[in-house]
Structure 1
Amino acid sequence: MSFGTFARRVRDEQSPPARRHRALRWAVTEYGPLGFHATWAYLAATALPAPDLRRDMSALLRALDTLEASRAARLEEVAAFAARRSMEKEAGLRTPRRDDLAVRLWRPHWPGGAGPSRLGLVAAVANRQAAFRRFPLPDDTLVPADRARRIADLYGRLDACGAAYLAALGQPDGPARDASADIVADIHRHLAPGHAPLNVPLFQWLRFADLLAYAHAVSPAR
């Protein structure tokens, strides 16, 4: 089923609240620009003043409105990108630029409006940091001892960077912004080609690091 089908189910006042709640979760599965869990945390935080999406149907509808507005903006971005790429290909530019939408579509990104909600991003980062802290460190037998120490240090830096963002309530300073971008780059350096066992935990870290770097990039500085 499509995003539109789930959206109509959310708005169906004849349906029981639990069914409408499930429909919103399925809608986030179809379109979750920050990843499912981070997007859900974002929506719950911004569906004020009563962000209980399971029981408060008004909050549930506010969350759906927020999600639909973001999705509409994303579709406009994709359409504009496709039109521009078509013209660029005709002009002989076959490879997208590094900052193109095609390059960053898979990364966390909240389209629409005047920018993402700071409250929503703080909630999303808090949700994903809690999950990140449950990830175990990679098996240190997979890599030499010196590299294992660097990876453990990287884990600590990412955790500290997330904690600092939350402590600043989503208003990071300049060095914190740079630190989050550096962490993303360092994780990429440790990724191995193919399906190396070390890649499994590192990709989990990378999803959190990408979200954190995006939050730093779009949040107002102190």
Structure 2
Amino acid sequence: MRDERSPLVRRHAALRCAVGDYGPLGFNATWAYLSATACPAPDLRRDSPALLRALGTLEESRAAHLAEMETFAARRQGEKAAGRRTPRASDMAALRFPRWPSSSPPSRLGLIAAVANRHSAFQRIPYPDETLSPDIEVRQLAHLHARLEDCAASYLRALGRLDRRAAAELTDTVHGIHSLTRPGYSPLNMYLLQWLRFANLLTYAIEESLTIEH
């Protein structure tokens, strides 16, 4: 990746492999974040300095992630010795949900790009057939889908600057989607879990925007 004697196409592929190994926002959202923050002109496939900037951003985040994991492991060792076998809910959330580990606040531009990328994918997800779950009213699905779409569109229109009312609206929407998921295998889950993955990224981006603003 760093070898400037190597063809750009090969270095570009190497960076994509690196994102495949470490993509804290998910592969596509992480790639969108790196592309935006590296400021490629016209894109990463043709800009060697931008490739190196993107790699540096990814490496910095991974170093922060590894440091967090070391701290987490040390704390859990002490907690287990004290008889606490179950990790804190906040610790598990940090491991499960999208987040950009870093020694400094994540880039607002990068998060906007990540949300925009996944918003486009969300809009392409086929809408679930109401017959997949007869016990759920079609109106519920349509309402939650529309609310999530509105939250994302508002975030993007505001360029990542939303108030706490909008954040609360998204939280309520996420809870509504969660309430429709079913344990184990459910045909409807294949749609709702995709909605939730996007909603979790959007939630993180909005929470970070509120933190940065204040």
Q: Distance in 2 between matches of 1:69 and 1:24?
A: 14
Q: Cα deviations across residues 108-156 of structure 1 (Å, max 9, x unaligned)? A: 1001122110000000000000010001211111123752210111110
Q: State the one-letter code of the partner of 2:144.
A: L
Q: Cα deviations across residues 166-191 of structure 1 (Å, max 9, x unaligned)? A: 01100111111112222222221111
TM-score (norm 2): 0.95
157-166 or 173-182, which deviates more? 173-182
Partner of 1:107: 97
Partner of 1:26: 17
Distance 1:221 1:136, change over 3 A: farther
CA positional deviation for 1:159: 0.5
Unaligned stretches of 5+ residues in structure 1: 1-9
Unaligned stretches of 5+ residues in structure 2: none
CA RMSD of aligned residues (A): 1.4
Within 5 A, what are the aligned runs for 1:1-222? 10-48=1-39, 50=41, 52-100=43-91, 102-144=92-134, 147-219=137-209, 220-221=212-213
CA contact (8 A) 1:180 1:216 kept: no
TM-score (norm 1): 0.91
Identity among equivalent positions (%) equals 59
Judging by fraction of residues, say which structure has more helix. 2
Distance 1:138 1:49, change over 3 A: closer
139-148 or 52-61, which deviates more? 139-148
Residue 130 of structure 2 aligns to a residue whose secondary structure is: coil
Q: Distance in 1 between matches of 2:94 and 2:180?
A: 20
Tell me which of the two structures has the higher relative contact order, counting C-alpha pairs closer than 8 angstroms and 6 or more residues apart: 2
